[in-house]
Amino acid sequence: MVNEIFDTTGSRYRSADIHEGASDLSKIKYDELLEAPIASGMTDKVTFTAGSAGAGKSRGIASLPKNIQPDLNSKVFYDTNLANFDSARKKIDKALKSGDGNTPVDIFYVHKPIEGAFKNTLQRTKNQTEKFGSGRVVNIDAMLETNLGALKTIKKLENTYKNNPLVNIKVIDNTSNTPKLMNIKNLPKAPSKKDAENKLFKILAKEKLDPEHLNMLLREKINPFVKTKDTGSTTYGGFLGLIDSY
């Protein structure tokens, strides 16, 4: 249905084109669920996932011992990034005030350094492309926003709600092949946006992707780590130079 509305049928590369609209719809649905009577079999609890695109949230959370896994019967289960503190706090405060005004909130944050998360998104796009002819793309700006933003936000949320027993934050370290719980105090400091962006550019410089995929990833950005074919210039080209290098 969404593909038909936004004329994106057959091009998963264009997933970003409908992201804002889909996000707005999810916010409306969230408010509706908070105000609605709790359905039979559901619990008066709101559960959030948090972490960047490509962090491996599903795998990381599923690896937890059963006694600390998310409550799948929560009246709202919000699969999101929580990459913006103000937005995250607003959602959490709404949840706490819902129902009888004492609704518990569980947050499951999955941490993965930006290089690994980005590689995961690239591989996912490749896999979808092989199957469907195109794949969902997380561009560089979105990767920076969700990865760095979620890492900074979860620390702020911990500090904001540390004295509120209704807010429970769990952190899953998905850096290695074995996800595990970690103390939030052991999370690393977020790298600068420039340093993180350069890491992503270096990864892209080694990838061989089709032009449409690259275009969606770069969004007119210049990759400083790719030489243009015609000049071999160390000042480097932009998107076209990246394509030409293949």
Quick check: 213 and 135 in contact, CB under 8 A? yes
Average pLDDT for 98-122:
96
Whether residue 134 is found in the same domain as residue 194: yes
pLDDT for 111-148, tens place per residue? Answer: 999 999 999 999 998 898 888 887 788 999 999 999 99
Considering just the CA atoms, what is the radius of gyration of the chain in Å?
Answer: 20
- The pLDDT assigned to 229 comes to 54
240 has a pLDDT exceeding 70: no
**Per-residue model confidence (pLDDT) at position 237:** 30
- The predicted model gives 64-92 an average pLDDT of 95
Question: What CATH number corresponds to the domain at position 12?
Answer: 3.40.50
What is the average per-residue pLDDT within 147-174?
98
pLDDT band at 199 (very low <50, low <70, confident <90, very high): very high
Percent of the chain having pLDDT more than 70?
A: 83
Same domain, yes or no: 109 and 10 = yes
**Predicted confidence (pLDDT) at residue 197 exceeds the cutoff of 90:** yes
Judgement on whether residues 174 and 237 belong to the same structural domain of the protein = no
Residue 171 sits in the same domain as residue 236: no
Task: For residue 187, list its beta bridge partners.
Answer: none
Say yes or no: 111 and 185 in one domain.
yes
Over residues 241-245, the mean pLDDT reads 30
Q: Are residues 146 and 222 in the same domain?
A: no
**pTM: predicted TM-score of the whole model, two decimal places:** 0.83
67, 96: one domain: yes
- 112, two tokens: 């993965």
How do 105-111 and 74-79 pair as beta strands?
unpaired
Give residue 203's domain range: 2-207
Q: Are residues 36 and 102 in the same domain?
A: yes
For residues 216 and 157, membership in a common domain is answered with no
Residues 156 and 225 reside in one and the same domain: no
- The per-residue pLDDT of the chain, averaged, comes to 85
Average pLDDT over residues 173-200: 95
- Give the pLDDT confidence score for residue 134 in this predicted structure: 75
| One domain, residues 143 and 215 | no
pLDDT at 238 over 90: no
| Structure tokens given for 67 | 């006694």
> Is the pLDDT confidence value at 4 over 90?
no
Q: What is the 3-state secondary structure (H, E, C) of the chain?
A: CHHHHHCCCCCHHHCHHHHHHHHHHHHHHHHHHHHCCCCCCCEEEEEEEECCCCCCHHHHHHCCCHHHCCCCCEEEEEECCCCCHHHHHHHHHHHHHCCCCCCCEEEEEEECCHHHHHHHHHHHHHHHHHHHCCCCCCCHHHHHHHHHHHHHHHHHHHHHCCCCCCEEEEEEECCCCCCEEECHHHCCCCCCHHHHHHHHHHHHHHCCCCHHHHHHHHCCCCCCCCCCCCCCCCCCCCHHHHHHCC
pLDDT value for 200: 96
- Domain count of the fold of the chain: 2
Instruction: Return the percentage of the chain with pLDDT > 90, whole number.
Output: 65
Per-residue model confidence as pLDDT tens digits over 21-48: 556 778 899 999 999 999 999 999 999 9
